[in-house]
Amino acid sequence: MDEFKKNVKITSKYFKGHGLRMFLIVIFTIVILALRIVTPIVSAQVLIKLTDNVLDQVILLAFVLLGIDVLWNICWYFQQYFYEKIYKDVFSEVQNEVGSAILKLTNNSLDENSTGVFIQRLTGDTSNVASSFDQLIGELSGLFTSVGTLVAIFVVSIPAGLFSLVATFISFGISYFRVKVYAKEHKRIKEINEKTTGFIGELVRGARDIKMLNSESSFLKALRDKVDYNLNEDFRFKVKNRRFWLVEMVTMDAFENFMIIFLVWLIMINNITITLALVIRNYQSKATGFADSISRLMEAFKDFNLSCTRIFGILDSDEFPKEQFGTKHLDNVEGNFEFKNVVFSYKKNKKVLNNLSFKAKANTTVGFVGKSGEGKSTIFSLLCKMYDVNKGEILIDGININELDKDSIRGNITIISQNPYIFNLSIRDNLKLVKSDLTNKEMREACKMACLDEFIESLPDKYDTIIGEGGVNLSGGQRQRLAIARAFVQKTEIILFDEATSALDNETQRDIQQAIRNLKKDYTILIIAHRLSTIKDCDKILYISKGQVLSQGTHEQLMKNSKEYKELYESEIEK
């Protein structure tokens, strides 16, 4: 209950600004409840008047029932209309807040959990929270209707009321036990759904590679296994739930039929009249619905609680740690940075960087070389604060990046990776993601520098061409050039090229290298490259081995003083 109160308190902020709509929903709900209680009385009178052959009053009562039905439908329409308005706004706010929170999670949180965890919470759970108001109102309406009907039966006949009360308590006991089992199983099913959703997401994103590997049958078998397991567990869950429902429904039906026998007995002993028996009979189904309403209400509470807990696990809890930034802000970053005795590992007891130290001056070009897996790309990730160092310091313009706010770091650093992610948008919109007020002139200039403008102009829709999810309609080289153009649009003080020209042909690579040379003296440029010809002209080259700087200097200096660098360079020439 404490957790429920906490969740209600937190979610109440999303319903602020909807006070009038919620008030009107409550008013319409009260009217609907009153009409539900009145309808059986009028219906019973219709039967009585028909029996007594008072047909003119039957016609009058028919018009009364028609008026009740019309009023009920009008109230229901406006109740749902205002609810849909609330649902739309609340769902949008909750989903946007969760989406924003996901982007603030540490990379470790994203690495250690499947995408299904976040997709399920971002879509299903946010929808559950947004719809919870209507669900709770609906179940409470049913509950109040049942309570009102039960009271009405007591007013008509105390013995009949006591009989209904006993039936209600027995049904409630069965419902209560069912909901306890339901809550525990429902949480487990959601966790299974997360894993299946994550695998489906991977299958869709990796469809091209799966085809290239000729592994469709293996992946389809894995998909079938996961989906079948998911559905089988869901089926078992529903069967178990339905068994309780079966017992509950049979019990309620039995009491309804026993009520007929009980009413006949009351008539025989002159405790009630036939007319009152008809009224009670009309009320009975709604009265015994009390237990059903209670169980559904408990289910709604459990679902609401579970969805809130899963959402707030992302929004505000230790389940998924958030990125932490400092408060210092740099308006004008010069571009000097330094690694001081940096130690870092993705997993415990497996160091990627081991007391790494080096400096880079502003407006210089620094190259990083070395074998794969030696920590070069990790240096870039740490400089962008995608991960936090285990020990040591990283300084930008002499300030520890842990003291800087997010904009001071990522607003001044652009990274172009070997496999850049291109969004399923037009070329224009992909470029506008980094600068919303991008002009056509700026866009064309950036694409010309990236040697992409000529290709874009050859397309039927030119810059408005939709390029598919992940840039599927572009070649590997074109995706890299678009990512490079995106970096040129951003114009940050520090630009990181992580194998950014690996997918380019030699001619295009030379053009890009010339574009990079044009940026020299104005930007701090860091380049990771396996092709050493890409970094020969760097002001400084660092040879990284086992997470440390093995040697550093210009190309000429390393050729003289670094055996490892010389061997690497000569082996490339031989190729």
**In the chain, what are the domain boundaries?**
2-201+235-315, 337-574
In the chain the first and final C-alpha atoms are separated, in Å, by 70
* Most confident listed range (70-79, 131-140, 434-443, 515-524): 70-79
pLDDT at residue 92 above 70?
yes
Q: Which residue has the higher pLDDT, 395 or 186?
A: 395
| Confidence (pLDDT) at 548 | 85
The model's confidence at residue 19, banded by pLDDT at 50, 70 and 90, is confident
**H or E element at residue 526:** strand 524-528
| Confidence (pLDDT) at 266 | 85
Distance, in Å, from the CA atom of 288 to the CA atom of 330, rounded to the nearest integer, reads 68
Distance, in Å, from the CA atom of 47 to the CA atom of 54, rounded to the nearest integer, reads 10
pLDDT at residue 4 above 70?
no
* Most confident listed range (157-161, 173-177, 241-245): 157-161
The model's confidence at residue 74, banded by pLDDT at 50, 70 and 90, is very high
Structure tokens at 363: 């407006």
- The predicted-structure confidence for 185-194, as pLDDT tens digits, reads as follows 777 777 777 7
Structure tokens at 165: 């009360």
Distance, in Å, from the CA atom of 38 to the CA atom of 276, rounded to the nearest integer, reads 14
- The alpha carbon of 469 is separated from its chain's Cα centroid by a whole number of angstroms, namely 19
Any idea which fold 2-201+235-315 has? ABC transporter transmembrane region fold (1.20.1560)
Q: 528 - beta bridge partners? A: 368, 498
| Confidence (pLDDT) at 363 | 85
Q: Quick check: 240 and 231 in contact, CB under 8 A?
A: no
Neighbours of 108 (CB within 10 A): 15
| Confidence (pLDDT) at 432 | 85
Using the structure block, give the residue that is written with the tokens 């496999």: 419
Question: In percent, how much of the chain has pLDDT > 70?
Answer: 83
The model's confidence at residue 70, banded by pLDDT at 50, 70 and 90, is very high
- The predicted-structure confidence for 225-268, as pLDDT tens digits, reads as follows 877 887 788 888 778 777 777 777 787 778 778 888 888 888 88
Distance, in Å, from the CA atom of 490 to the CA atom of 488, rounded to the nearest integer, reads 5
Q: Which residue has the higher pLDDT, 250 or 521?
A: 250
Neighbours of 449 (CB within 10 A): 22
Distance, in Å, from the CA atom of 94 to the CA atom of 133, rounded to the nearest integer, reads 14
DSSP state of 390: S
Q: Residue 536 phi/psi, 5° resolution?
A: -55, -35
- Report helix, strand or coil for 315: helix
pLDDT at residue 88 above 60?
yes
Which residues does 299 contact at the CB level (< 8 Å), separation at least 6? 179, 182
Number of residues that this document lists for the chain:
575
- The alpha carbon of 378 is separated from its chain's Cα centroid by a whole number of angstroms, namely 27
pLDDT (mean) for 403-425: 81
Q: Strand 413-416 relative to strand 365-369: parallel, antiparallel, unpaired?
A: unpaired
Which residues does 401 contact at the CB level (< 8 Å), separation at least 6? 326, 383, 385, 394, 395, 409
446: left (phi over 0), alpha (psi -120 to 50) or beta: alpha
Distance, in Å, from the CA atom of 369 to the CA atom of 367, rounded to the nearest integer, reads 7
pLDDT (mean) for 215-227: 74
pTM for the full model? 0.66
Distance, in Å, from the CA atom of 154 to the CA atom of 112, rounded to the nearest integer, reads 59
Q: Which residue has the higher pLDDT, 304 or 444?
A: 444
Q: Residue 399 phi/psi, 5° resolution?
A: -110, 135
Q: Residue 356 phi/psi, 5° resolution?
A: -75, 130
Three-state SS letters, 200-267: HHHHHHCHHHHHHCCCHHHHHHHHHHHHHHHHHHHHHHHHHHHHHHHHHHHHHHHHHHHHHHHHHHHH
Q: 413 - beta bridge partners? A: 494
Q: Give Cα separations from 317 to 94, 122, 129, 188, 272 (angstroms).
A: 16, 16, 18, 20, 61
Distance, in Å, from the CA atom of 222 to the CA atom of 395, rounded to the nearest integer, reads 46
Q: Which residue has the higher pLDDT, 26 or 510?
A: 26
Distance, in Å, from the CA atom of 296 to the CA atom of 316, rounded to the nearest integer, reads 29
pLDDT (mean) for 336-350: 84
- Mean pLDDT across the chain, nearest whole number? 78
| Confidence (pLDDT) at 170 | 79
pLDDT (mean) for 453-470: 82
Distance, in Å, from the CA atom of 5 to the CA atom of 114, rounded to the nearest integer, reads 30
Distance, in Å, from the CA atom of 34 to the CA atom of 148, rounded to the nearest integer, reads 9
**H or E element at residue 23:** helix 19-51
Distance, in Å, from the CA atom of 62 to the CA atom of 46, rounded to the nearest integer, reads 8
- The predicted-structure confidence for 264-291, as pLDDT tens digits, reads as follows 888 888 888 777 777 777 777 666 666 6
Q: Quick check: 483 and 414 in contact, CB under 8 A?
A: no
| Confidence (pLDDT) at 322 | 81
| Confidence (pLDDT) at 71 | 92
Three-state SS letters, 410-448: HCCEEEECCCCCCCCCEHHHHHHCCCCCCCHHHHHHHHH
pLDDT (mean) for 451-458: 85
| Confidence (pLDDT) at 207 | 64
| Confidence (pLDDT) at 337 | 86
CATH superfamily for 337-574 is: P-loop containing nucleotide triphosphate hydrolases (3.40.50.300)
Edge-first strand listing for the sheet containing 353-360: 353-360, 337-344, 391-396, 399-400
